[in-house]
Amino acid sequence: MSELTSKTIAELRDGFRSGDFTAREIAETYNAAVAAAKTLNAYTVETPEDALAAAQAADEARGNGDPGALAGIPLGIKDLFATRGVDSTAGSNILKGFKPTYESTVTANLRKAGAGMLGKLNMDEFAMGSSNETSAYGPVLSPWRRKGSNVGLTPGGSSGGSAAAVAADIAPGVTGTDTGGSIRQPAAFVGICGIKPTYGRCSRWGVVAFASSLDQAGPMAKTVRDCAILLEAMAGFDPKDSTSLDLPVPQWEANLSSNLNGKRVGIPKEYRIDGVPAEINALWDQGIEWLKDAGATPVEISLPHTKYALPTYYIIAPAEASSNLARYDGVRYGMRAAVEGGLDDMYGATRAGGFGAEVKRRIMIGTYVLSAGFYDAYFTKAQKVRALIKQDFRNAFQQCDVILTPTAPSAAFGIGETTDPLAMYLNDVFAVPASLAGLPAMSVPGGLDGQGLPLGLHLIGNELDEQMVLNAGLAIEERAGFTARPEKWW
Amino acid sequence: MADSTAPYRVKGDTGEWEVVVGLEVHAQITASKAKMFSGAATAFGAEPNTQVSLVDAAMPGMLPVPNQECIRQAVRTGMALDAVINRWSRFDRKNYFYADLPQGYQISQLYHPLVGPGEVEILLDDKDENSVKQIGIERIHVEQDAGKLMHDQHPTKSYVDLNRCGVALMEIVSRPDMRSPAEAGAYLRKLRAILRYVGSCDGNMEEGSMRADVNVSVRKPGGEFGTRTETKNVNSVRFVMAVIEHEAKRQVELIEEGGEVAQETRLYDPDKNVTRSLRSKEDAHDYRYFPDPDLLPLELDEAFLEECRSSLPELPDAKRKRYEGLGITPYNAGVLTAEVETARWFDALLDAGAEPRQGANWVVAELFGALNRRNETLATTGISPVEAAELLKLVADGTISGTLAKQVFEIMLETGDAPSRIVEERGLKQTSDTGAIDAEIDKILAANADKVAEYKGGKPQLFGFFVGQTMKAMQGKANPQVVNERLRAKLD
């Protein structure tokens, strides 16, 4: 049955519905695959019984002729999502053992559609990282390796476990979250698809907050179509999230079309930056050709404030995080350090012991930029630049329907190779502007670099126009013919 | 009696000092039975941690959702204070660590409050309509309350009760416009009355639904503002006045001894009637306020504002002017409008047909006197406005005399019976039967022939004696006017 794990979600769904195989067979196959891939460290918790229970319900529903959109599909869930009764720790020691009494809206939506859960997926602590190396559970190993090398590579981050699970066929699809590229960069690193929808499409209720004004959940899967299927199930208005968009969920899958006749593809000149490998720029040019072939017209556009996006992001995101993470204080749940002294001593010891270095760094940055005397110079200025970046995109979408760029400035790097935090932050240089503007954006695999590692192409759409992003992604997917799979070594 | 409009001065060794007071009043929006952002209940006195939602406990991934009713009540309150309502406002996070603050921040409004400048009119002298003073309101913002720590439950540990955590508060910030403890007291009482008229806050200071931070500084009269201290969480009008008096004296003594007032936060100890330093400016928190990214800005549309406006009741000042227009004395009008319960009761009395002046006099003198004596309130007494109006009508139409009315009222208070029934059953109806009255008068004049002679001989003050004797003989039921007429006919 191992060929089941190489199927797309669409294929599993259709095969299940037509009775080619049962949901139970799918769940059992995946449960076994998950159990056999512990080396990758992709899952922090395995929940085979959950996947089986959902499969049983799906098989019964199929008998009754009314299976949900995701009936029979088991999924991996990023550890940032609260899942009732199952450890939900955001990859952090400070939440070790925390089992919520509640279920996030996004995972509840997926369950309502019939999906089961294979387990919780490893991630950078509190989604802060681009390599999954900041996780309290240790790094995730990418299933990919450089040609002729057995150096362990990162799957990117922060949704590193999510990316590795799809690439290694130990989940047909997964949830990710994207604050400044955390879905798209890992998707690019492991040769899969991942989309971050417009800010507000997916409810943030029950998702551990990193930077509230940027956090968005989204799916990662093998294909563009699978992303459309999953996103339809995840998205939707939620009155429990004040920033949730009160709009109906479009039928993204039914409206998939790779015919881009009459569409204009914006190519932002500011994304041609120094130090990016020629292979990546070449793939970008290839991407333009593919979209032309699909009927689109390329137009050069300008996003003049692009160079300020990364510094702006690294003021706003830590500022919000420094406040969002204040609740992890050892008083009500999670870790509490046993320490002599008073309340302040307990706070200090708990947070010193519970948070990792990168989380502490960002709390420090965020606290600093919000401090009296620095607030205007940093936070207020960053908010202003953010408004300018949004305006850049608004202007650009007067001239084009979708924007094409590379997803990341490099292919996957080795574990432990990038030790300078600033060099790590540069991973998200292409991803961050769309996050600041709240726009839908997707990474689609384009090809392999000289070392045999996947590279992604990045599509940014106008507000609420996930369809355009998916359609352009589909056009690339069809033309790139990306069928490379990592050779199984684990 | 001291002239209450004379400036309040603190006498120091170097001369007289003026006190400058501003108040930040925290008023719980008791009109909403749910918290500001979580929907949890807010009942007072519930068992610890029984009114706590996942949001209040700041569980991971929980998000605040504004309670529309709380916004509405704060807007109505702003309108009642003649304040600017900001159609665009925003929530900010005030960040600090404390065990009673699960989120690690309080959701408040620093940069763009819901309500802007307004004012409250106070009377420096209840009996003098011209002693009006306007106290400026700087702003009203809405925010969450924190929980509370309980230090008396365990020898070495503190417990946390989150029931109050997330309860909706309005912070009503005055300008530093008050110049005496009495002005601050008048302002607080007036503000409390307005809140209770509007219904947004029950003003119950004992249960903590209203409390004040008291900002006090001193200066030489008319000089530059001095450095202020802020005394936190004072929970009665009396204590607020005591804090001002105490702080003003303390500051004057400090300055005159060559010291400097430190800008600091202080706490009031009502048992010892002193304030003491809680923390200095140097130790002040850096709250790192910034816009709460979990919440969209509040944008109010015209329909919402119109509903808020049209749902406002008649407010104390307007009501007082209306009462005065009905011929009620300014003093009575002031007393009748000071508390919303009194005003509502009096309006019902007018609706039941009572004559305004007679009604006002009766309520202020008779009803309040009886309630005081009996240790009752309008809420607990069995006297209804309709019955009271009936009693007043019996006096007005001559059915009973004013003297009899007092008796009837006492019986009403005791038995709860309707006045007409009491009059009927006990035969207390006043009589204008001239035959019966004449017969008694004749008997009295005959029995007091000496007094009649004195009267006729130039002692007109004896007329009252004959009236009294006649009324007594008639057991108080004779119409005094008729008695007067008949006596004059027979004597003059």
Q: Which residues pair with A76 in a beta bridge?
A: A119, A174
Given CA atoms B317, B323, B327, B331 in this order, what sign does their dihedral have? negative
A240: chain B residues, CB-CB within 8 Å = 63, 65
Taking a C-beta distance cutoff of 8 angstroms, is the pair A97, A110 a contact? no
Q: What pLDDT digit, counting tens, does each position of A399-409 carry?
A: 999 999 999 99
* Dist CA A292 CA B310 (whole Å): 61
A343: chain B residues, CB-CB within 8 Å = 98-99, 158
Residue among B60, B66, B97 minimizing CB distance to A329: B97
CATH hierarchy code of domain A2-195+212-257: 3.90.1300.10
A50 phi and psi, to 5 degrees?
A: -65, -45
Q: What pLDDT digit, counting tens, does each position of B129-146 carry?
A: 788 999 999 999 999 999
The neighbour count for residue B284, using CB atoms within 10 Å, is: 12
What stretches in chain B show pLDDT beneath 50?
1-2
Nearest Cα residue to B365 out of B409, B397, B430, B326: B409
Question: Could you tell me how many CB contacts below 8 A there are between chain A and chain B?
Answer: 97
Min Cα separation B143/chain A (Å)? 17
Residues 6+ apart with CB under 8 A from A47: A86, A117, A118, A119, A120
Angle between helices A9-17 and A23-35 (to 10 degrees): 140
Report pLDDT for B407.
87
Alpha helices of A309-380 — where are they, by DSSP H?
309-324, 343-354, 357-370, 375
Is the domain spanning B434-491 CATH 1.25.40.10? The answer is: no
Q: Count CA within 13 A, CB hemisphere, residue A328.
A: 32
B102: chain A residues, CB-CB within 8 Å = 327, 331-332
Radius of gyration over every alpha carbon of chain B, rounded to an integer in angstroms:
30
* Dist CA B244 CA B393 (whole Å): 48
Report pLDDT for A63.
86
A212: chain B residues, CB-CB within 8 Å = 293-294
Nearest Cα residue to A189 out of A212, A164, A210, A209: A164
Extended strands (E) in A29-142:
43-46, 74-78, 116-121
Catalytic positions of A, please? Answer: 78, 158, 182
Report DSSP state, residue B312. Answer: P
Determine whether the interchain pair B294/A323 forms a contact, defined as Cβ–Cβ distance below 8 Å: no
* Dist CA A363 CA A325 (whole Å): 8
Best residue of B59, B281, B295 to probe chain A, by most A CBs closer than 10 Å: B59
Q: Which residues pair with A218 in a beta bridge?
A: A176
**A319 lies within 8 A of chain B by CB:** yes
Report pLDDT for B2.
46
Among B residues 77-116, those touching chain A with beta carbons less than 8 Å apart:
93, 95, 97-99, 102-105
Domain ranges of chain B: 10-307, 314-418, 434-491
Helix/strand/coil for A434: helix
Determine whether the interchain pair A243/B57 forms a contact, defined as Cβ–Cβ distance below 8 Å: no
B41 phi and psi, to 5 degrees?
A: -75, 165
Nearest Cα residue to B105 out of A486, A273, A364, A325: A325
Q: Count CA within 13 A, CB hemisphere, residue A211.
A: 27
Report pLDDT for B1.
40
Say what the pTM is. Answer: 0.91
Enter the tokens of residue B407. 């008796």
Report pLDDT for B460.
86
Radius of gyration over every alpha carbon of chain A, rounded to an integer in angstroms:
21
* Dist CA A205 CA A239 (whole Å): 9
What stretches in chain A show pLDDT beneath 70?
1-2
Determine whether the interchain pair B288/A323 forms a contact, defined as Cβ–Cβ distance below 8 Å: yes
* Dist CA B85 CA B76 (whole Å): 9
Give exposure, A157-171, as e/b (b: 16+ Cβ within 10 Å).
bbbbbbbbbbbbbbb
Given CA atoms A87, A185, A151, A482 in this order, what sign does their dihedral have? positive
Residue among A242, A325, A332 minimizing CB distance to B102: A332
**B60 lies within 8 A of chain A by CB:** yes
